[in-house]
Structure 1
Amino acid sequence: MIEFYGRGLLLDIEGTTASVAFVYDVMFPFVRRELDSYLKSAWGTPTLDPVLRYIAQDAGADSFEQWTREDAGEEAKLERVSAEMTRLMDNDVKATGLKQLQGLIWKSGFDSGELVAAVFDDVPAALTRWNAGGKDVRIYSSGSVAAQKMFFGHTNHGDLLSSFKGHYDTTTGPKKVAESYRAIAADYGCDASEILFLSDIVGELDAAREAGMRTGLCYRPGNAPVENANGHTGIESFDQISIG
């Protein structure tokens, strides 16, 4: 059990509120299937332009034009973006540009009803309990804020989006860097010790603890084995968190 009397709860998604299998077996394959058709339909639109800037910045360029200046024509640029996104996905790189693009592609799936986010059964009741107890519940995930909102707005337990007061992604900072959690605490407007961060990744929890947050390690079905919890309290369900 974790007894928590602080102000806010900060949650990861994959392996914490939802299964790793859903993300890897459903959401990621959907992006691979729809990547080229989405790029073709959105190419040259204001929606895609900022994402292309992120992709170029992730690759070390100052602008998309600089990154693609050796490519002849729009088709070649599109193909380069597609190849780069595929490379990043193949290597499980959590780049901001990729995450932003994935969010745009997932939107079409959620809007059509093909994608329905599978959250763990204990999550909705816990969110209700925490909100009723006056806790400030927010999400910090490598997936874009837009993707997070779509995810929780279209779950197997209905629309859960109103349960959250804030969302953070890699534009705030890397998830294994303490400064990211300090920035989040500052945005909460409270001391980091007043926030409980829940994740299935020890490296993320280490960074949050370094920033001063309390931590909980989630042992969910399908999660990778944890060889060293490094002192983080483990839970198998959100029912094991007592608030006050």
Structure 2
Amino acid sequence: MTDTLTARWVVVDIEGTLTATSQVHVVLYDYARPRLGPWIDEHPDDDRVTAAVAEIKEDAGLAADASTEDVVSVLHSWMDADRKASPLKALQGLIWEHGYTHRELISTYFPDVVPQLRAWKTAGLDLAVFSSGSVAGQIASFSHTTEGDLRELFDHHFDTVNAGPKRVPTSYAAIRAALGSPDPAHLVFLSDVPAELDGAAADGWHTVGLARPGEPFADADFGAHPVVTTFDDVTIERADD
């Protein structure tokens, strides 16, 4: 159980915090993997796709006229290494958005998550997401869940494109600016990754580590960050104006 925190904004990670890591690394990755090549070939006029492909080629040192097969080979290697590459996340997000829209995908959360998010929202706290997954993918994932459409819970979404890398303080400063520059002591970040919490704390945020049993960071050293295994052990009250 954490001490009672006061805040205006609660910002949450997704993978390992709201959902099991397997939801991303198994369910979503397996859905996207065979669809990357066809998606690229079937959307030659989509600026989001062409920009992502161009960035992949540049990053991987491929020729400008490299084939889709060559691009997909790079993407699969990045997925295998769990590399948080923005063009990969952009393409995955578009594919996942299609999957959720067509009811081929459904998000499942840890049982403590949705009741607590709703309770914080009811208590007057504002909620946002900061995930390495693209904003499009985030919004799509909340649209079709075992708990219904949860998109209305969140006021803002941040990823590595509009905020920056998740482990550096400047990303949290950028998020704070996008939220209207609130006092950093009025923000709480919840994540299962200690290095991400370090980044938020360096910008003055409150932090809470999620050491969920069976997850990759369950036995990690969270240092000075408060650590819980469930949202039920996190108490946050709305800060005064």
Which of 213, 219, 228 is the equivalent residue of 2:221? 228
Q: AA paired with 2:38?
A: S
Corresponding letter in the other structure for 1:239: D
TM-score by length of 1: 0.89
For residues 77 and 220 of structure 2, the distance between their equivalents in structure 1, rounded to whole angstroms, comes to: 29
Q: Deviations for 1:154-203, whole angstroms, at most 9, x for unmatched residues?
A: 11111111000000000111001111011111222202111110000001
Determine if contact 2:211/2:220 at 8 Å carries over to the other structure.
Answer: no
Unaligned runs of 5+ in 2: none
Q: Measure how far apart 1:83 and its partner are.
A: 1.6
CA distance in 2, matches of 1:88, 1:126: 34
Residue equivalent to 1:82: 72
Q: Does residue 107 of structure 1 match 2:97?
A: yes
Among 196, 212, 237, the alignment partner of 2:230 is 237
Matching of residues 146-161 of structure 1 within 5 Å: 146-161=136-151
Give the secondary-structure state (helix, strand or coil) at the position aligned to 1:229.
Answer: coil
Residue of structure 1 in register with 2:189 after alignment: 197
Alignment partners' CA distance in 2, 1:221 and 1:110: 28
> Of residues 83, 93, 110 in structure 2, which corresponds to 1:120?
110
Aligned to 1:179: 170
- Distance in structure 2 (CA, Å) of the matches to 1:83 and 1:21: 22
**Contact 1:55–1:96 (CA<8 Å) still a contact in 2?**
no
Higher deviation after alignment, 38-47 or 210-219: 38-47
- In structure 1, C-alpha distance between the alignment counterparts of 2:155 and 2:54, rounded to whole Å: 28
Give the match for residue 68 of structure 1.
63
1:37 is matched with which residue? Answer: 38
Whole-angstrom CA distance in 1 between matches of 2:53 and 2:41: 13
Distance (whole Å) between structure 2 residues aligned to residue 54 and residue 167 of structure 1: 23
**Mapped partners of 2:45, 2:7: distance in 1:** 47
Deviation by residue 1:124-166 (Cα, 9 ceiling, x = unmatched): 2112111111111100000000000001111111111100000
Q: Secondary structure at the match of 2:47?
A: coil
Regions of 4+ moved over 2 Å: 43-47, 49-57
Matched residue type, 1:36: G
Q: Which moved more, 1:29-38 or 1:147-156?
A: 29-38
Deviations 1:199-226 (A, max 9, x none): 0000100111111111101022431233
| Residue of 74, 80, 96 corresponding to 2:86 | 96
Moved more, 234-243 or 198-207: 234-243
Q: 2:205 aligns with which of 205, 208, 213?
A: 213
Task: Determine the C-alpha separation between the residues in 2 that align with 1:178 and 1:166.
Answer: 19
The one-letter amino acid paired with 1:125 is P
Q: Name the % identity.
A: 36
Q: Supply the AA of the counterpart residue of 1:14.
A: E
- Equivalent pair of 2:57/2:71 in contact (CA under 8 Å): no
Task: Report the Cα offset of residue 8 of structure 1.
Answer: 0.7
- Structure 1 residues without counterparts, runs of 5 or longer: 62-66
Q: CA RMSD in A?
A: 1.7
- Indicate the larger mover: 87-96 or 140-149: 87-96
Following TM superposition, by how much is the alpha carbon of 1:49 offset from its aligned partner in structure 2, in angstroms?
2.3
Q: Distance in 2 between matches of 1:31 and 1:145?
A: 16
In 2, are the aligned partners of 1:196 and 1:215 still within 8 Å (CA)?
yes
